[in-house]
């Protein structure tokens, strides 16, 4: 299973762009990278998923370099409501089943 490493916490201010990097040095060829967001007292929520290069949706962008040993979740112009824990997961595309392992995530605090 590909292990991921993320910063424990990050601070930002409203209106700034936030980039959270995840390291996954032993990522396998078939692995995809998925990010989840969790607010206090709620279950995690899917944000974005990608395999290589760049993926963008209405919430965030995901940048994956050619070697795929890391990935960066980019949140444009954060607001107070983006304060949450963000998890990076790596798993294979064949239906991950038991290898969807969550680490401790990155606790993002957005200040006014």
Binding interface with another protein (CB under 8 A): 31-32, 34, 36, 41-46, 49, 51, 87, 91-93, 95-98, 100-105
In a 10 Å sphere around its CB, with 0-12 CB exposed, 13-18 middle and 19+ buried, how is residue 29 labelled? exposed
Q: Least distance from C-beta 99 to another protein, angstroms?
A: 9
Tell which residue, 64, 2, 52, 53, has the closest CA to residue 27.
2
Q: How far is the CB of 19 from another protein (least distance, A)?
A: 21
Positive or negative, the CA dihedral 28, 33, 38, 42 is negative
Residue whose CB is less far from another protein, 13 or 46: 46
CA distance 78 to 104: 21
Q: How far is the CB of 14 from another protein (least distance, A)?
A: 26
In whole angstroms, the minimum distance from the beta carbon of 96 to another protein comes to 5
Choice between 98 and 112, CB closer to another protein:
98
Of 13 and 102, the one with the shorter C-beta distance to another protein is: 102
Name the residue among 105, 88, 77 with its Cα closest to residue 9: 105
């Amino acid at each position: 299973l590909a292990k991921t490493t993320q910063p424990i916490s990050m601070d930002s201010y409203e209106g700034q762009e936030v980039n959270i990097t995840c390291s996954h040095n032993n990522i396998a060829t078939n692995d995809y990278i998925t990010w989840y967001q969790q607010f206090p007292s709620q279950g995690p929520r899917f944000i974005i998923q990608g395999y290589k290069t760049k993926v963008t949706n209405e919430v965030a962008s995901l940048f994956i370099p050619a070697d795929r040993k890391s990935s960066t979740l980019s949140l444009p112009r954060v607001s107070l409501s983006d304060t949450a824990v963000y998890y990076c997961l790596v798993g294979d595309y064949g239906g991950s089943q038991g290898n969807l392992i969550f680490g401790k995530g990155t606790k993002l605090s957005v200040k006014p």
